[in-house]
Each structure stands twice: as C-alpha cells, then as structure tokens.
Amino acid sequence: MDPDPTLNFAQGETIYENTGVIEWTRFWKASVLTTFGFFPGFYVFEMYAAGGPPSLKWMSENWNWFDVPRQFQDGGGWDTESYRYCDDHEYMNMQYGGKRAMARPAHTFYCCTLMVLLQNMNLDYVSRMVYNKDKDIVFVYKPDGIWNEREYVYEMHHLEQMVPFAVTAIKNMSMQDDNGIVTVYDMNTRDNLKFYNDDKYWNLDIKDEFMGQTRNMWLGNFDNKRDGSIFSLTRAASKESALTIMKVDREL
C-alpha cells in the first residue's frame, strides 16, 4: 500500500535517544550465543560430516590433561581406542543408528531454536525516535534481527500508552518512576514501543507534547474518585432524584 502523498517524510526533531539499547541488546545476544551455542556449534561438523564425536584417546591427547580408561570406550580389550565412534556408518550399529535417529534431529532443532531466540530477543525497546516536520508521524529505530537496527514509521494518531487499571496504585506503577518503563502501543500494527522514562534520554522540550499525544484514551479518567469508568457517584442527588426520594419517603 502506497503512503498518502500528503505525508511529509522529512525528519524533524529527535524526541528520544538511548544508544545503550543497541549495545546491551547485542551484549546479551552475544552472551546467549556464547553460553548456549558454543558446544552445539563446535559439533556441527562432527554431527553431520564426520563419524561422530572424537575418540577418548584423541580427546585426551588434544584437550584434556587426564585420560579416560580405554575400557569405557572399547568394551575392555577389543583394541578400538584409536577409532572414532561409528566410522563404519553401519545403520545396524546401535551408536550410529541412535545418532541418526535422535542426536542429529535434536541438534538441528536446538540450533534452530537458538537462532529463533536470538532473532526475537529484542524486547521492543526503542533506541531512537524522531518526529517528521509536521509531527504527525514518527521514525522509530529498534533492534531487529540478530544484530541489526531497523527503522519503523508510525502515525501519531495510532499511538497510545497502555491504559492502566483503575486502581489507587497508579501512582506506584513503574511508568510513573523516573527510571521506569513507558510502553506505547500502536493500535494499527499492534507493535509495542518501550522507552526508559529517565529524562536524560528525552528531548525535554517536546517530551510532554509526545506524552500528551499518546494518552488520549485515559488521561484524566481517574482525576475524580467518584467518577469511574463503570460507576459514577455524585456528592448530592439531582433535583429529580431528590423529589423521587421525598415521594418514596411519604408513601412509606
């Protein structure tokens, strides 16, 4: 779908900028990949090209300072310690058959799951947001994919902050804290945008303007404790209600 030709896509003032979002997202992804992906990645060749994991003798000579007794590998004197596991690729071999039936599919599924995790662990945090010249759309930059940053375009009239529950604890919510998280929801694309509330990340000249534009659905709904979203109470009865009450009292 082509955009409206009247929209102005020239960038204007920067509303919000937090370069640490990209750095920390990449740090956590690198940590996850290093922690959970090193050994599966190391064994890719062994799983799919070679006959299997290295023999215990090869591992003791190249990796370890200790040696596992040969009988744990060759069954106690069959002189197979120099061979790698299942080099004959014999499907009747229990070890090779088990690796083809269970180890390889499990390894593939694990690696795919890890890649999907890295692809989606961006957590909707925003690194930068810029108005256009007319202030009716915003350009939002967020971590995307495994290692990238991507620009998204949102129309301002679609953006709303998450509506809080009508409770007396609104003042204690994290969105009210100086270092809390503000979540803005796009009602068109259903994307979430998360911002740190700390003033050091915001352009203070236009922060209140942006906040006011994204609180249209709920701002002021809880100013009066007697006027709720479901029930409304008034301090005094109206004239009609007062006359009805007096009539009922006389009849009783």
- Same domain as 84, residue 12: no
Instruction: Kindly give the confidence (pLDDT) of every residue in the chain, 252 residues in length, as a single tens digit, with 9 standing for 90 and above.
Output: 566 778 888 999 999 999 999 999 999 999 999 888 887 877 777 677 665 555 566 667 777 666 666 554 544 455 655 554 544 555 555 666 777 788 788 888 998 999 999 998 888 999 999 999 999 999 999 999 899 999 999 999 999 987 665 555 566 666 666 778 889 999 999 999 999 999 999 999 999 999 989 987 776 666 666 666 666 666 666 788 888 888 888 887
Q: Output the pLDDT for position 56.
A: 60
Q: Are residues 90 and 180 in the same domain?
A: no
pLDDT at 87: 46
CA angle 93, 97, 101 (to 5 degrees): 175
What is the rounded distance in angstroms from the CA atom of residue 179 to the CA atom of residue 177? 5
pTM of the shown model: 0.68
Q: Which domain holds residue 162?
A: 1-18+125-252
Q: 120, 149, 164: which is the final residue of a domain?
A: 120
Assess whether 89 and 9 both reside in one domain. no
- pLDDT of 20 reads 93
Sheet holding 11-17, edge to edge: 11-17, 128-132, 137-144, 148-155
Residue-by-residue DSSP string for 64-90: -SS---THHHHTTTSS-TTSPTTTT--
Domain total of the chain: 2
Helices (H), 104-178: 104-120
For residue 154, what pLDDT is reported? 95
